[in-house]
Amino acid sequence: MTPQKTTAPVDMIIVGAGFAGLYQLYRARRMGLSVKLLEAGDGVGGTWYWNRYPGARCDVESLDYSYSFSEELQQEWNWSERYAPQAEILRYINHVADRFDLRKDIQLETRVASANFDDASARWTVITEAGERFDGQYLIMATGCLSIPQPPDFKGLETFKGDWYHSANWPREGVDFAGKRVGLIGTGSSGVQMTPVIAEQAAHLTVFQRTANFSVPAQNEPLTEATLAHVKAHYAERRALGREAVTGQFLSANDKSALEVSDEDRLKEFEFRWRGAGGGFRMLRAFNDLMRNPIANQYAGDFVRGKIRATVKDPVKAEILCPKPDLPFGTKRLCVDTHYYETFNRDNVDLVDVKAHPITEITPTGLRTTQGHHELDAIVFATGFDAMTGALLAMDIRGTGGQSLREKWAAGPRTYLGVSIAGFPNLFVIAGPGSPSVLSNVVHSIETHVDWISNFIEHSRSRGTRRIEAEQAHEDQWVDHVNEVANQTLYPVGNSWYLGANMPGKPRVFMPYVAGVPAYRRIIEGVAEKNYEGFAQA
Ligand code: NAP
């Protein structure tokens, strides 16, 4: 690769054109900054551009999983369902790009290979895989937490004569499974969402499950005109409630311990959250100690196991689908489904426990486990992502004195406030490790970060400083604090991607900040009020 000539310098370079990158671009423009946004895909949308698998939809309600920064936008856009499908979310993001005239600063099909900070000029040079160079004062990583798919690493895959797909790299034209025998590997959120849809299309579906995860019904439904009109008339109140909710989405949290109520009342609360008016992540807010107290947690786990056994008619399948005691409820990201467990009652759906009988190889005509061979025409991998750090470490990012982020994070990610990294001045990460991020309504967390970063940059420029850098001591304290609050919960017990446990060889560090959106916002606002305490500004 021969580096090409540097394009005109800009104030800000943004990497990624998903929810985060687009809003950062909008804010930077309004601050009068010159901006270049670089995006690997050939369209905007980030996660919603890549993840086009059958059944893909958000699992945070669309009325919340949407931008709040523009009253006009939230009044004019009509979501069709409580949880919008991928295509609709992608239309929304494209609408935002057009409505705010964002495209003129976006360069598509441009994957960043490296970024280097120059101490003398306090500027970043970004080099793309095609060798193009960009020069910017601020570098904003809007690269997403789940954007680097875990590549399928199965012996013999290259010999398979059928077609195979990864959930996060789905063919744009879609896939027709009619008449096919399909194998699906992976039962996280992606696998759980696609199982019922593929089961309806395919001649036969075999789900290969390694770890039984907890899934709760979304209770998805169309949004009526009356509901939309009501929400729009009270949108400010809805957003305000979201800001004060632990996850950035109002889910009527119950502030009681699961241990302080009668068995009957406990069951009633769980039922309420499982059924129509409830649904989705409301289950996690049924009691205030589900993620802290193992007994409270077990009550929730037993409730869901009871639902699985009541739904799945074949008792052998039901037992395989029941999460085991070594996975506390909610410690792997809760799946939110539509008819997932019911799907295993179909005649054309089989379930294989690949924890008990591991996959040994992919063959030209299917897949072999230690128990036998399965003939397949197509294989779908819903095997997840190199989460939270994958996209950042895929680039060679070098800060002061040429230090590499890969080296700095060799034992796990370290940030100050989840937004800045000591030794990497003028670089900000949106919704990254060390912030509520993936444990929250991420669009809300994105807006919080973009507003905070933008205000900080405006503040710095108004004071004539050119360089903003997190101080090492403050970063160390923040990392300790993030670990301390995580260790007060059951989260680190589950072998989840929150911990990096899904990637062989990845350091096990609990990456998101668990104290919740309001507590986090108060901390970062407090830092700002103290002239951005913990940051050197020169
Ligand atoms: P995931 O949660 O990491 O699930 C990956 C699945 O693949 C797990 O069941 C895992 O089993 C299995 N797996 C991985 N390698 C395997 C192997 N070698 N053999 C057998 N099984 C293997 O990935 P995901 O489902 O793509 O979801 C990732 C995250 O993306 C979600 O947690 C969520 O945050 C987000 N997401 C959101 C939505 C939404 O908003 N609706 C939809 C999809 C995804 P183990 O558990 O045993 O490792």
Largest CA distance in the chain: 71
User: For the chain, what percentages of helix, strand and coil (3-state, to nearest 5) are there?
Assistant: 35, 20, 45
How many angstroms does the Cα of residue 207 sit away from the middle of ligand 1?
A: 13
pLDDT of residue 1: 52
Confidence of residue 221 (pLDDT cuts 50, 70, 90): very high
Whole-angstrom Cα distance, residue 276 to residue 369? 39
- Three-point CA angle 152, 157, 43, nearest 5°: 50
The tens digit of pLDDT for each residue in 368-389 reads 999 999 999 999 999 999 999 9
How many angstroms does the Cα of residue 475 sit away from the middle of ligand 1?
A: 30
6 pLDDT above the threshold of 80: no
Backbone angles phi, psi at 513, to 5 degrees: -95, 120
277 pLDDT above the threshold of 90: no
Query: Domains in the chain, start-ordered, CATH in brackets?
Result: 10-148+387-537 (3.50.50.60), 157-224+239-381 (3.50.50.60)
3 pLDDT above the threshold of 90: no
276 pLDDT above the threshold of 90: no
Nearest to 347 by CA among 306, 313, 381, 318: 313
Whole-angstrom Cα distance, residue 295 to residue 316? 26
Residue whose Cα lies nearest atom 39 of ligand 1: it is: 58
Q: Which tokens sit at 376?
A: 């397949």
Whole-angstrom Cα distance, residue 137 to residue 34? 10
Q: Which tokens sit at 439?
A: 């444990």
The tens digit of pLDDT for each residue in 439-484 reads 999 999 999 999 999 999 999 999 999 999 999 999 999 999 999 9
Q: How much is the mean pLDDT over the chain?
A: 96
Q: Are 255 and 286 in contact (CB under 8 A)?
A: no
201 pLDDT above the threshold of 60: yes
pLDDT of residue 24: 98
Residue whose Cα lies nearest atom 24 of ligand 1: it is: 384
SS3 18: coil
The pLDDT of 99-110, averaged and rounded, is: 98
Query: Cα 152 from chain centroid?
Result: 20
How many angstroms does the Cα of residue 32 sit away from the middle of ligand 1?
A: 41
Residue whose Cα lies nearest atom 29 of ligand 1: it is: 189
Whole-angstrom Cα distance, residue 85 to residue 70? 22
pLDDT > 70 fraction of the chain, expressed in percent and rounded = 99
Count of CB atoms situated within 10 Å of the CB of 473: 11
Whole-angstrom Cα distance, residue 140 to residue 26? 13
Laid out side by side, the sheet with 181-185 consists of 163-166, 378-381, 181-185, 204-209, 349-353
pLDDT of residue 2: 54
How many angstroms does the Cα of residue 331 sit away from the middle of ligand 1?
A: 13
The pLDDT of 215-238, averaged and rounded, is: 97
Q: Are 520 and 436 in contact (CB under 8 A)?
A: yes
Amino acid at 301: G
SS3 530: coil
Nearest to 273 by CA among 233, 210, 219, 352: 219
392 forms bridges with which residues in the sheet? none
Query: Cα 387 from chain centroid?
Result: 8
pLDDT of residue 306: 98
513 pLDDT above the threshold of 90: yes
Whole-angstrom Cα distance, residue 127 to residue 529? 36
Query: Which residues does ligand 1 sit against, CB inside 6 Å?
Result: 57-59, 146, 167, 185-191, 193, 210-211, 333, 354, 359, 382-385, 438, 497, 502
- Number of the ligand 1 atom closest to the C-alpha atom of 497: 3
Contacts of 183 (CB under 8 A, 6+ apart): 205, 206, 208, 366, 367, 374, 376, 378, 379, 380
Residue 400 is classified by DSSP as: G
Residue whose Cα lies nearest atom 23 of ligand 1: it is: 384
423 pLDDT above the threshold of 70: yes
The tens digit of pLDDT for each residue in 142-178 reads 999 999 998 899 999 999 999 999 999 999 999 999 9
How many angstroms does the Cα of residue 16 sit away from the middle of ligand 1?
A: 22
pLDDT of residue 476: 97
Strands 378-381, 372-375: pairing is unpaired
pLDDT of residue 77: 98
The pLDDT of 289-299, averaged and rounded, is: 97
DSSP H helices, 7-130, are: 19-30, 47-50, 71-76, 86-99
Residue whose Cα lies nearest atom 12 of ligand 1: it is: 186
The pLDDT of 412-439, averaged and rounded, is: 97
Element (H, E) at 372: strand 372-375
The pLDDT of 329-344, averaged and rounded, is: 97
Confidence of residue 295 (pLDDT cuts 50, 70, 90): very high
Whole-angstrom Cα distance, residue 284 to residue 247? 10
Q: Which tokens sit at 213?
A: 């995860």
